[in-house]
Amino acid sequence: MKLLNEKSKEGSSSFNISELDIQTNIPENLKRIDLNIPELSEVEIIRHYTNLSKYNFGVDNGPYPLGSCTMKYNPKINEVAAKIPEFNIHPLSQHNKGTLEIIHQLQQYLCEITGMHAFSTQPAAGAHGESTGIMIMKAWFQKLGERRTKVIIPDSCHGTNPASVSLCGFEPLHVKSSSSGGIDLDDLRQNMGKDIVGIMITNPNTLGIFDENILKITKIIHDYGGLCYLDGANMNPMLGVVKPGDFGIDIVHLNLHKTFSTPHGGGGPGSGPVGVKKELEPFLPNPRIIKKNEKLGFEQSKDSIGKVHSFYGNFGILLRAYSYIRSIGASGLRNIAENAVLNANYMKEKLKEHYHLHYDRICQHEFVIDDSLMPDGVTTNDIAKRLMDFGFHPPTIYFPLIIKGAMLIEPTETESKENLDAFIEAMKVIKEEAESDPEKLTKAPLKAPIGRIDTVHAARKPKLTWHST
Amino acid sequence: MDYISNTDNDRALMLKDIGVQDVMDLFKDIPDSLILRNPLRIPDQLSEFELLRELENISKKNRRHVSFLGGGNYNHYIPSTVNAVTSRGEFSTAYTPYQPEISQGTLQAIFEYQSMICELTGMDVSNASMYDGATGLAESMILSTRIKGKKQVLVSHALNPLYREVLETYARASEIRIVEVDIKDGLTSDFKTDGSAAIIIQNPNFFGLIENLDGIRKKAEDILLITSTTEPLSWAILKPFSEYDVDIVTAEGQSFGNPMNFGGPGLGIIAVKQDYVRQIPGRLAGETVDIHGKRGFALTLCTREQHIRREKATSNICTNEGLCMLAASVYLVTYGKNLGKLARLNNQLAIYFADKLNQIEGVDLVFDKPFFNEFVVRIRKDIQSKISHIEIGISLEKYYPDLENCYLVCCTEMTPKEYIDRVLDEITQ
């Protein structure tokens, strides 16, 4: 499709402005001479983006079983809630009681769901929550006067975990997974020492497995005085079933855009609130929104890691998450976990007849299969591309890194049995095609708006704007 | 309400196929002592209309009114085209475009956004956006120390103090030293670059004043020049940063088509010189071709990123503000060249209000320097009490103790002349 710049026609913009008859105070030598923003009429703008939208696949278009990303349906009421005019206020306005009430109440709900004592809603995304959490760990040991340098990370972790650790000046120390998919306890014990800041763990992990040794793991860390951080990306199957606070977690971040159904927006905005146990509360980002003597307000703590966002985080997203929690209530939260786990196990059982299942055991909300049973030359990438032709967004591929040719599949609780069956059938057909007509797969997708994209070409000589050649 | 598609019958069939009796059999890896026996202490579910009623009741505890607050978050009109586009489910409910064949909509929109940001700033490369203005600036600070191999940066005292707080948080974590550059008459004064990786200057600065960056490159010969802007609408009438040989441009892009929303989500703009294309944090969309030779777009240079480079990545960021970026693109193309007129109107309203205020006894314009749409006034206490219901601006005393009784006043197209006149009447009565 043509670009805005290629469609632009000088003078076609109709969005007019009446200026005042007042001389500008900006000196001539600091003024801009020309402004080259594309110009289109309103109808052309709307058609441009409407046509672009047809080249996009969202949850509203079909199933999106993207492991570790929890692409569940986003209820439309959330969008209505987010557009209530009175919530669109300036962050420094004093007339903010309603807004503070939403944030404070959401903090309380998140505490109840996770078993934490206090939450900050400042972090704007999951990885932002991670770095906030690691900063809290750093501040904690500085306060104790201890110099610790290493954070333990399982080899099945999210890529953001080690990056967040090194951003905060610590060194990630990778521990192995055991043959059953949990953390290798011997490897963990061997790595323990007084230089360990703590652990950054995802549980259920990115293999979809709830580590049955979780209580032992958190005890080992605590015995050395370390802190346990939970990457809450996989909170969905725990809602109302188990609280991270109960299994020894000291700090947790939640991905509101995953678990609490706020739309991913083609990459954001997300929201990554961080929750902590009581002794860590003073280290949360400043300012905190708290209730004191029945009055809502801001509080600054001298032990705080400081501010991590221009204002108070992504309020527009917090409001959607609040709306979601209120619309489903406690029983709805539990329903999510049960149906997410049911859907994943159903799909896993059906797919293991056709694809190699690395860990043949009960899973939580997601599971990993791989391409090792595929005929030569047909890869996970080919399977992913072919799935598009069947009307599915592909699962997460080549992650977790510890399984070669991995496909991490997360159906989510909002998909129906019919959709799960259709996905299973598509995967079965793809397997058959791989044997009978492998070329069809390597050329897929055949029905997408565009053929398979050459990503190597894009990286070799990057063209990142319309102008540069 | 709930959003589950399975019926009880579906569930029974599925459990049977899995070969378990009860759904709780699927949670048997969890130690029994951890399984919750009681429901969460969260209120019962609500119907849509009950929920909406509750939210509207809570929202009424806010008071929405025209104010003169700015300082990093601005009340601008959002053209109706913006919501029409961003509310399309194909955009709003899509994930990061890792599968380009079914994400061309998002990818082309990012490419077009990158093109427009480069046009506005004059820089070579823009990414697909960061969390917000302050964190984008913090990432740039870290970037500069990595490029220069030095752990010290200079920061103008006229930088938004909230941004300064965020910088300090990141600096503590990354063990970077921040050295402050003084101000003179509200503008960044002279500085020494010794041992620093970069200097950070806001323009228009926190006081709304336009910094004259002519000749700054000479003073900052051996270090990176980083700018921060909280009101990028000013770019439509100010000389682009590339002409001052700036290395990294960062900004808060909320002004471009995103509501105030109590300060978030925002839109972290970051653009750099070509030299730093492999150092810039965040996502980049690039042009390429499909197997038929047809033009297409894909995320590119991903080897800088956390999912490949892990602890050696340029940043831990794995998201952007996709929908806010889309809103910004639609906003910019809706205004087109008229963005210049809008910027001038904002400037004119601020000049008008500042001049009139300055004529009132007990109100003084603090800095006699060119500004864009914000300015600082000192208001005598008795006048302050007269207009306490107005929110005339951000009180500066908290951040700058020497600016006692001073306010940062902001005008936009949403504070029209008639409204300004009414406020002036109230003050002079």
Helix A380-389, helix A417-436: angle, nearest 10: 120
Encode burial over A363-384: b for 16+ CB neighbours within 10 A, e otherwise. bbbbbbbbbeebeeebbbbbbb
- A442 and A364 belong to one structural domain: yes
| Residue A411: cis peptide before it, omega within 30 degrees of 0 | no
Domain match, B109 and B196 both: yes
| A461 at B interface, C-beta within 8 A | no
User: Exposure of B365 by Cβ count < 10 A (0-12 exposed, 13-18 middle, 19+ buried)?
Assistant: middle
Domains of chain B: total: 2
CATH number of the domain encompassing residue A105: 3.40.640.10
Show Cβ contacts of residue A128 under 8 Å, excluding neighbours closer than 6 positions: A272, A308, A309, B131, B135, B317
Residues whose CB is less than 8 angstroms from the CB of residue A119 and which lie 6 or more positions away in sequence, other chains included: A106, A107, A110, A111, A273, A274, A275, A276, A284
The verdict on residue B44 lying in a domain is no
Mean pLDDT (chain B) is: 96
Based on the domain organization, do B245 and B318 belong to the same domain? yes
Nearest to A210, CA basis, from A244, A187, A186, A240? A244
Q: Do A323 and A335 fall into the same domain?
A: no
* B242, B174: one domain: yes
Q: Residue B250 phi/psi, 5° resolution?
A: -125, 155
Same domain, A135 and A272: yes
Reported as half-sphere exposure (CB side, CA atoms, 13 A), residue B290 has a value of 20
pLDDT single digits (tens) B169-227: 999 999 999 999 999 999 999 999 999 999 999 999 999 999 999 999 999 999 999 99
Q: Of A327, A354, A369, which marks where a domain is finished?
A: A327
- Shared domain check, B304 and B227: yes
A38 with A113, same domain?
Answer: no
Judged by CB atoms closer than 8 Å, whether chains meet at B6 and A416 is answered as: yes
With an 8 Å Cβ cutoff, is A296 touching chain B?
A: no
- Same domain, yes or no: A308 and A336: no
Best probe of the B interface among A183, A450, A466, by most B CBs < 10 A, is A450
Within a domain: A62: no
Q: Does residue A179 share a domain with residue A268?
A: yes
How far apart are the C-alpha atoms of B176 and A72, rounded to whole Å? 40
Does B32 reside within a domain?
A: no
Q: How far is B277 from chain A (nearest CA, A)?
A: 9
Q: Which amino acid is at B190?
A: D
Q: Which of B336, B355, B388 is the last residue of a domain?
A: B336
> Which domain range does residue B375 map to?
338-428
* Domain assignment of residue A108, yes or no: yes
Kindly state the helix (H) or strand (E) to which residue A199 belongs, with its residue range: strand A196-201
Please indicate, yes or no, whether residues A365 and A322 belong to a single structural domain of this protein: no
> Which of these three, B312, B336, B360, is where a domain ends?
B336
Q: Is the ipTM reported for this complex over the cut 0.90?
A: yes
The fraction of chain B above a pLDDT of 90, given in percent, is 93
Show residues of chain A in contact with B14, CB under 8 Å: 342-343, 346, 417
pLDDT at B309: 84
Interface test with B, best of A19, A21, A90 (most B CBs within 10 A): A90
Looking at the fold, whether B178 and B103 belong to one and the same domain comes out as yes
Tell me if A113 is assigned to some domain: yes
Same domain, A10 and A95: no
Alpha-carbon distance values, B215 to B36, B141, B190, B220, B246 (Å): 66, 22, 12, 9, 11
Looking at the structure, do residues B328 and B211 belong to the same domain, yes or no?
yes
> Residues A281, A391: one domain?
no
In a domain, B391, yes or no: yes
Task: Read off the amino acid at residue A115.
Answer: G
* B19 occurs within a structural domain: no
Determine which helix (DSSP H) or strand (DSSP E) holds A367, and give its type and residue range. strand A367-370
- Whether residue B240 is found in the same domain as residue B171: yes
A431 to chain B, any CB pair closer than 8 A? The answer is no
Q: Are residues B293 and B399 in the same domain?
A: no
Query: Domain check: are B282 and B385 in the same one?
Result: no
Is B236 in the same domain as B380?
no
- Taking the Cβ of residue A40 and every Cβ of chain B, the question of whether any pair is shorter than 8 Å is answered with yes
Among B336, B360, B382, the domain-final residue is B336
Determine whether the interchain pair A388/B6 forms a contact, defined as Cβ–Cβ distance below 8 Å. no
Which residues of chain A fall short of a pLDDT of 50?
A: 468-469
Q: How far apart are CA B255 and CA B235, in angstroms?
A: 11
Any A CB within 8 A of B265 CB: yes
Residue A431 lies in a domain: yes
The whole-number pLDDT of residue A377 equals: 87
CB B171 within 8 A of CB B146: no
Whether residue B281 lies inside any domain: the answer is yes
Quote the CA–CA distance of B227 and B241 in Å, as a whole number. Answer: 8
Return the closest-CA partner of residue A370 out of A407, A399, A409, A395. A407
Distance in Å, alpha carbon of B76 to nearest chain A alpha carbon: 11
Same domain, yes or no: A256 and A387: no
Question: How many whole angstroms separate alpha carbon B386 and alpha carbon B363?
Answer: 13
Strand-pairing partners, residue B338, are none
Half-sphere exposure of B160 (CA within 13 A, CB side): 30
Which tokens in the block code for residue B101? 């064949």
User: Same structural domain for residues B150 and B224?
Assistant: yes
| Three-point CA angle A36, A39, A41, nearest 5° | 170
> What pLDDT was estimated at residue A468?
44
Distance of alpha carbon A208 from alpha carbon A211, whole angstroms: 9
Is-above-0.90 flag for pTM?
Answer: yes
B105: CATH: 3.40.640.10
Q: Which of A327, A362, A385 is the last residue of a domain?
A: A327
What is the predicted pLDDT for the residue at A404? 96
Range of the domain at A319: 76-327
Q: Is the predicted pLDDT of residue B77 greater than 60, yes or no?
A: yes
In this structure, which amino acid lies at residue A450? I
Residue A36 touches chain B, beta carbons under 8 Å: yes
Q: Are residues B195 and B107 in the same domain?
A: yes
d(CA A464, CA A466) in angstroms, rounded, equals 7
A positions 384-403 inside 8 Å of B (CB): 384-385, 388, 393-394, 399
B 343-402 residues with CB below 8 A of A? 344-345, 347-349, 351-352, 370-372, 391, 394
Domain tally for chain A? 3
Q: How many CB atoms lie within 10 A of CB B403?
A: 18
Token match 């949990």: residue?
Answer: A182
Of B248, B241, B255, give the one whose Cα is nearest residue B223: B248
A259 and A197 within one domain: yes
CB B305 within 8 A of CB B293: no
Q: Is residue A61 part of a domain?
A: no
Let me know whether A271 and A366 are in one domain.
Answer: no
- Yes or no, beta carbons of B291 and A91 under 8 Å apart: no
**φ, ψ for residue A118, nearest 5 deg:** -150, 150
The structure tokens 């208001």 sit at: B379
The answer to whether residue A223 is domain-embedded is yes
Report if residue B205 sits inside a domain: yes
